[in-house]
Structure 1
Amino acid sequence: MKLINNTSTLLYNDKYQNQVKHSVELDMSIVTKDRLKSLIVDKALLVDDESNFQLASGDKSNYFFDMKLVSMDPEGSELIAEEIFKLIQNENIDFIGGLESGAIPIASVVANYSYRYQKPIPAFFVRKTPKKRGTNKIIEGNLPNNSRVVLVDDVMTKGESVLIAVEKVRELNCHVEKVITIVDRMAGAKENLKKHGIELVALFKKTDFDL
């Protein structure tokens, strides 16, 4: 009877410790994401009702995310890597990459972060036009055929830019089913990617910034 009671106590303690650990992880995740949002607001978000910022999609807007000011910031890049790695660490992913130039610092820092956690995911990037010297490659990095790939981008509007990367990666028979962006401007990217069998996951949406 005493042994049974001890066993029950051990099981209860293990369950309690796991619950506490999960709760702490959730709390830390909230803290990390809130801090990342603060950095984006402080460093990257520009709002001017009298300005018309030209977007990559060709549209004009009164707000603009200069996201490289966060993705290339020491703290910002670490927070981005942590949030994205949490989304893919348990998935069967071979490579992470995206279109130059917004995706380059993101893919690179996630690759570095993944190595630290002993789940290395190499990075690559897709050029908008082939390099006209050396190897003339359009994809930089060792991306073998038939790899399982996640693409990243800093800001998504309609998804047209990332679809260029999707096309080039799929020419290698690589499998792309997910794109992760830091901010979704909610201007059609999610719907456009869905037409190509791709899920868009955003760390933030424009509504998170009261836009």
Structure 2
Amino acid sequence: MTVKGRRAEYRELTRTAVLDAAAALFAAQGFTATTIDDVAGAARVSKGTVYYHFTDKAHLFEAVFRDRQRHLVEAVAAAALRHDRPWPRLTAALDAYLDGTVTDAAHRALLQQAPTALGAERCRELDEQLGLPAVQALMDDLAAAGELTVEPGPMLTRLLFSALCEAAMTAGAAPDPDEARRAAADALRAIMTGLRREPPAAHHE
């Protein structure tokens, strides 16, 4: 490996260390209470190194949020791909999403802080960038298999995605997140079942 390649690898490893440290601190003590000095200390780098990679604390939070949401989308996709048929893929994806956003306490904390750290509009933009294509793919999969009573156009997909995000936020903020997660799963399944095409009735001689 060249010197230039080693430097690039070191920068990437350093950036990852800063992201991991920031994610743990944001989850444990909150965005407002966490300082750049805290992150630098936890990552064992200088304050200047943190600022080399991130312009300010909000930029750092957004990078953490993007990174964790990207990993979540990958986990949801992996859960869906364990099934051969479209409907089990959908329910597996819903369960994996709720596990990642509600059952996972650290991710749940990041989601709850995101509107304060980034603003509601920016949160919505990031959610749509990272999650909306995955929801559209699942809906297209169901439509291609003849499982839906309606065409999964952009409006329907956005509405369903909004319901998914709201379920995660509401369940995550509940006094008992585990119980709320189960209620959210039931509600989302009920919504999707309302869009499911009934299989043709069997004909008997």
Higher relative contact order (CA 8 A, sep 6+): 2
TM-score, normalised via structure 2 length: 0.29
TM-score, normalised via structure 1 length: 0.28
Q: Which has the higher helix share?
A: 2
Q: Which has the higher strand share?
A: 1
